[in-house]
Amino acid sequence: MSPEPARTTDVAALALDHVDRLVVGTVREVHQAVARRAFGATRLVGSRLPESVHDAVATSVYGAASGVLRIGSGSVRALSARGVGRPVESSRLGRSVVAAVNGLIGDELRMLDDPQAIVMSVRVDGEDVPVTRWQVGEAFRGAGSHLVVLLHGLCESDESWRTGEKARGTTYLQRITQETDADPVTVRYNTGLHVSENGKHLDALLSSLVDAWPSQVSRITLVGHSMGGLVARAATNHATAAGSTWQHLVRDVVCLGTPHSGANLEKVAHLGSRALRFWPESAPFGTILDTRSAGIVDLRHGYISADEWEGQDLTARWGLDRIAAAPLPQAEYHFVAGTLGASQKHPLSSILGDLLVHFSSATGVGRTGPVVDGATFEYVPSAHHFALLNHPAVGDWLVRWINAEHRPVRALTRSGA
């Protein structure tokens, strides 16, 4: 039986929970820190009465506010359990909200078994496609032997590849379908989980997809935007270690604005949370920053392996130890970087890169050298991070790479065939 869909009432309950925990909790803690400092003078003269009265009143007020929010959250969840509320994924806006929430707290949603937690899946027209031979065959009728698997980035979804469709008049999906003999396959996943975990899920998904595909698969191209590029590399890394076979069909790995050596914005958030903890009055705001998901924390240094983070408190240390992940020997790696400025030397480009990812990180250059030896890179000037989801130059490169001749590889034989 299919799980109950997430409803607008589930979203409302989640919002009330976080208002209680983050907003009311933060205000309460800041208030307490300020009060402790303010009542220092009364403690010096030996009177704690004013402080005791203040604390009693404050505790009562904040407790009442928190209680109201918790009761409201419980009531709304009860309505959801009764089927009250529209399925949140019935609209593109709702699906975008779910994707964003998963990026921010997706690991928490999964742990709580919240219906809003996304499970990795193949997607067509905003809906999951179960990876069985019949359903894949119905969704991809007439499919050929070359799969182009597209992986979105943090807080994005499979529909993010439609960004700029009206302005451009086309998308990468349309161009792949019209200008190549390949078939585009979009995947949606919970971007709040560790990149390495999503890599493990993608390994399993692609193993099943290759087996269920209508024709024998002879070639796979992986295309990832931002975090999606890390997930692609994590999947091939996990597949190699686990003894999977689909990765031997990969001929191209394309990473668009991927933070291979880390994202500056996550590094700033990490430093900000540490700095805020120096003062009691600002420490609660540091707690808010520390609530970011495991997926976001992984972006600090572009982690793709569990060995890089397992057993470590990554919110309390820089975690610079990197573990080399061998690239696929038969695949070509194409790294695409953009910058806000019209050149790499423009001040905006030097400081902000494409707004979220620095040029050197997007081109796979880390502190110890290239992340992937032999990778080629392309540069898109005057392009912000999300422009790489639908850019004419990038579209041209994708078509060229997909149509390029590679040394032949024997198609995988389906299990049981």
Residue type, 271: L
Residue 402 phi, psi dihedral angles, 5° rounding: -70, -35
pLDDT at 54: 62
* 18-34 mean pLDDT: 63
pLDDT band at 300 (very low <50, low <70, confident <90, very high): confident
pLDDT at 361: 93
As given in the structure block, the two tokens for residue 355 are: 């707004």
* 71-89 mean pLDDT: 82
Strands laid side by side in the 219-225 sheet: 127-129, 121-124, 183-188, 146-151, 219-225, 250-256, 332-338, 376-380
The residue among 158, 141, 138 whose CA lies nearest residue 149 is 158
Q: What is the pLDDT of residues 303-334, one digit of tens each?
A: 787 766 565 554 544 444 455 567 899 999 99
Residue 356 phi, psi dihedral angles, 5° rounding: -115, -30
pLDDT at 312: 57
pLDDT at 176: 98
pLDDT at 272: 45
* Global confidence as pTM: 0.83
As given in the structure block, the two tokens for residue 222 are: 């992986």
As given in the structure block, the two tokens for residue 386 are: 């999300």
pLDDT at 27: 64
The residue among 197, 111, 182, 193 whose CA lies nearest residue 149 is 182
Residues 6+ apart with CB under 8 A from 82: none
Ranked by mean pLDDT, the top range of 91-95, 313-317, 388-392 is 388-392
pLDDT band at 198 (very low <50, low <70, confident <90, very high): very high
pLDDT at 255: 98
Distance CA 104, CA 292 (A): 6
* 95-109 mean pLDDT: 91
pLDDT at 253: 98
For the ranges 173-177, 221-225, 325-329, which has the lowest average pLDDT? Answer: 325-329
pLDDT at 78: 83
Higher per-residue confidence, 297 vs 411: 297
Higher per-residue confidence, 417 vs 219: 219
pLDDT reading at 61 higher than 50:
yes
Residues in the chain: 417
* 122-131 mean pLDDT: 96
Residues 6+ apart with CB under 8 A from 409: 218, 219, 248, 249, 251, 330
| DSSP secondary structure letters along 121-152 | EEEETTEEE--SHHHHHHHTTT--SEEEEEE-
pLDDT at 30: 58
pLDDT at 8: 84
As given in the structure block, the two tokens for residue 388 are: 């790489």
* Alpha-carbon distances, residue 113 vs 77, 108, 117, 179, 278 (angstroms): 13, 9, 7, 42, 35
Residue tagged 């921010």 (tokens): 104
SS3 256: strand
Higher per-residue confidence, 300 vs 280: 300
Q: Which sequence spans correspond to the domains of the chain?
A: 8-90, 121-262+320-403
pLDDT reading at 276 higher than 70:
no
SS3 296: helix
Higher per-residue confidence, 403 vs 271: 403
E-assigned strand segments in 209-308? 219-225, 250-256
Do residues 54 and 38 touch, judged by C-beta distance below 8 A?
Answer: no
* 344-351 mean pLDDT: 90
pLDDT at 369: 77
* 368-382 mean pLDDT: 90
* 404-409 mean pLDDT: 65
Ranked by mean pLDDT, the top range of 26-35, 237-246, 361-370 is 237-246
pLDDT at 81: 80
* 288-299 mean pLDDT: 72
High-pLDDT (> 70) share of the chain, %: 76
Residue tagged 């240390």 (tokens): 317
pLDDT at 4: 74
Q: What is the DSSP letter of 23?
A: I
- Chain mean pLDDT for the chain: 83
pLDDT band at 165 (very low <50, low <70, confident <90, very high): very high
Write the class of the CATH domain 121-262+320-403: alpha beta
